Amino acid sequence: MQLSTRHLLGIKDLNKEDISLILSTAAQFKEVLQRPVKKVPSLRDVTIVNLFYENSTRTRFSFELAEKRLSADTINFAASSSSAAKGETLLDTVQNILSMKVDMVVMRHSASGAPHFLAQHIPAAIINAGDGINEHPTQALLDAFSIQEKMRGLEGVKVAIIGDIMHSRVAQSNIYLLHKMGAKVTVCGPPTLIPKYIQQALGVQVSYNLQETLEWCDVANVLRIQLERQNQVLFSSLREYNIAYGISKKLLDSLQKEIVIMHPGPINRGVELDSDVADSKQSIILQQVENGVAVRMAVLYLLSGKN
């Protein structure tokens, strides 16, 4: 089976069959990752560049590890230590790298649409590792994989996405994916951090009441307050945000049922999530990170044309 697209620019472009294929392929790679020898020869002779114009820990290491587990050759690019810092354009940089016979590009960029622009100009397969406030498709795929593992499926699961929805590419990709797979989505946060027309545009429920939202959901995917993307004051202080929308152990213990806590990372501990929640048995945050490697192996393998 093959994906209906030759790049992974966003979940918006995938259909339900594509998502199911990626998740089932990831399950096979997760089995490989449990073996003493965690490596397969699937991408031998494939060369991949990891092009990171924006900081990353989880996504960058996860892609690098996925590529190594698949036996691909990899090169890593960080904008701050490259000729981009001397003013070289994105297109010049990528065309120079591709002239060294690179087959696939994994790319993170602060500009929304940067990977879509590249896809119009270069022949290599492109995987979006997060573009501005637009999409973070592999995060949504690993989140879905983790929910599916915990809840035994996605159909009908009630997922609350809580926090800074306005600046979140993770929220957008999760909403597209969860709806395509039949899950129900509510976004919750202060009115200033939720786009005004999100209900009409993306078909989600909107709530400004954290307690009610937590009572409703099976899974709470808690997002980071993205201070680096905010150019105006959208809430009074981090302390007040924590009081109104932070998730504490006391709040979780007051609910009628035990819900699953997720976070894409990095966590602002004591702001959107208290430490005793992040580190509790209800949290699957580190399972999300573990699953990220298998999911990215699946995406790389399916887009490489080697399947």
* Binding positions for ligand CP, rule: CB under 6 A: 56-59, 130, 139, 264-266
- Cβ proximity to ligand CP, 42 vs 219, nearer residue: 219
Q: What is the rounded distance in angstroms from the CA atom of residue 172 to the CA atom of residue 133?
A: 8
Residue nearest ligand CP, Cβ-based: 59
Q: Which residues contact 57 (CB under 8 A, 6 or more apart)?
A: 265, 266
Measured from the CB atom, the residue of 57 and 275 that comes closer to ligand CP is 57
User: d(Cα 142, Cα 128) in Å, to the nearest integer?
Assistant: 14
CA distance 197 to 194: 9
CB of 288 to ligand CP, least distance (A): 8
Nearer to ligand CP, 135 or 218 (CB): 135
Report the C-alpha gap between 62 and 65 in whole angstroms.
5
Of the pair 5, 56, the CB lying nearest ligand CP is at 56
Cα-based angle 161, 247, 213 (whole degrees, multiple of 5): 45
**Beta carbon nearer to ligand CP, 47 or 62:** 62
- CB within 8 Å of 37: residues ≥ 6 apart: none
List the end-to-end C-alpha distance of the chain, in Å, as a whole number: 8
SS3 294: helix
3-state SS record for 104-128: EEEEEECCCCHHHHHHCCCCCEEEE
| Tokens standing for residue 151 | 């809840």
CB of 56 to ligand CP, least distance (A): 3
Q: Which CB, 130 or 163, lies closer to ligand CP?
A: 130
**CA 147 to chain CA centroid, nearest Å:** 13
Shortest distance in whole angstroms from residue 100 CB to ligand CP? 25
Select 71 or 132, whichever has its Cβ closest to ligand CP: 132
Output 153 or 266, the one with its CB closest to ligand CP. Answer: 266
User: Which among 301, 230, 254, 265 is positioned nearest to 8, based on CA atoms?
Assistant: 301
Q: Can you list the positions of beta strands (E) in the chain?
A: 47-52, 73-78, 104-109, 125-131, 158-162, 184-188, 205-207, 219-222, 260-262
Q: How far is CA 58 from CA 73, 87, 124, 256, 293, in A?
A: 20, 27, 24, 33, 10
